[in-house]
Amino acid sequence: MYRSTNELKGYKVLATDGDCGTVQDLLFDDDTNIMRYLVVDTGSWLTDRQVLVSPVAIDQPDLDSFELPTVLSKANIEAAPSVETDQPVSRQYESALTSFYNWPVYWGSSPTPILNRPAATVELKERVAAGNGDPHLRSANEVTGYEIQCMEDTLGHVEDIIVDTESWSLRYLVIDTRNWLPGKKVIIAFDWVTHFTWDDRKAHVDLTRSQVENAPEYDPRLPVNRAYETQLYDFYGRPTYW
């Protein structure tokens, strides 16, 4: 079952003994393209606490009630690690950045850009590498809005991520081909992303600008089914994953 991460954010998370919060973000491994955690805001019963819940503990989403049932009790959720235990790479860099420049910590809605100083960038990377954070852990909230870096030029931005909730594999990026005003939407396979760069907020793909611009248009109101996937892979001339 394919679901949009933008849609999943806001779903109610159900413990076996009651509601336990809502999905605020999803953290994925950009090396394996697997969803690692759901970030759950536990709301009033655990004040100001966001915990990490593995998709392994999640049953299939209920599309009618916008709920994610789990096999966990509220006690299990309460004992789950905090989001600060395993931070996405953007937060790791922000932490190193504030320390490097002796700035006050403020977690804004978007990352603070690294200043254009090679020596500073090297030291920041060393600080992150020396920590316990996972350098491949990415936030869906962070990546949404990243610019698409094609082989020769930039194009549009990431609008959404489509995930397979059977395996929790990341299947597709939804791209708006214009940077500011709404434009044509297309999707590309997540496997075609070569890497992400946090400092300039880009998703790098091994596709030409023309390929992305002329790809079959994506309508989010319609399901991504095998017929659409076949058309997509045929257009790009890429081998299918199935």
Q: How many other C-beta atoms can be found within 10 angstroms of the C-beta atom of residue 164?
A: 15
How much of the chain exceeds pLDDT 70, in percent? 77
Looking at the structure, do residues 191 and 224 belong to the same domain, yes or no?
Answer: yes
Pairing of strands 12-15, 67-69: parallel
* 241: in domain: no
Contacts of 55 (CB under 8 A, 6+ apart): 35, 36, 37, 38, 165, 168
CATH number at residue 45: 2.30.30.240
What are 49-85's pLDDT values in tens digits?
888 888 988 998 998 899 999 999 998 888 888 877 6
Looking at the structure, do residues 123 and 155 belong to the same domain, yes or no?
Answer: no
What are 120-141's pLDDT values in tens digits?
455 545 555 555 557 778 889 9
Rg (CA), the chain: 19
pLDDT of 112 > 60? The answer is no
Mean pLDDT of 4-19: 94
Looking at the structure, do residues 149 and 203 belong to the same domain, yes or no?
Answer: yes
Looking at the structure, do residues 111 and 47 belong to the same domain, yes or no?
Answer: no
* 224: in domain: yes
CATH number at residue 214: 3.90.50.10
Domain count, the chain: 3
What is the domain range of residue 225? 144-236
* 151: in domain: yes
Q: How far is CA 20 from CA 11, 41, 168, 175, in A?
A: 11, 8, 21, 33
Looking at the structure, do residues 151 and 188 belong to the same domain, yes or no?
Answer: yes
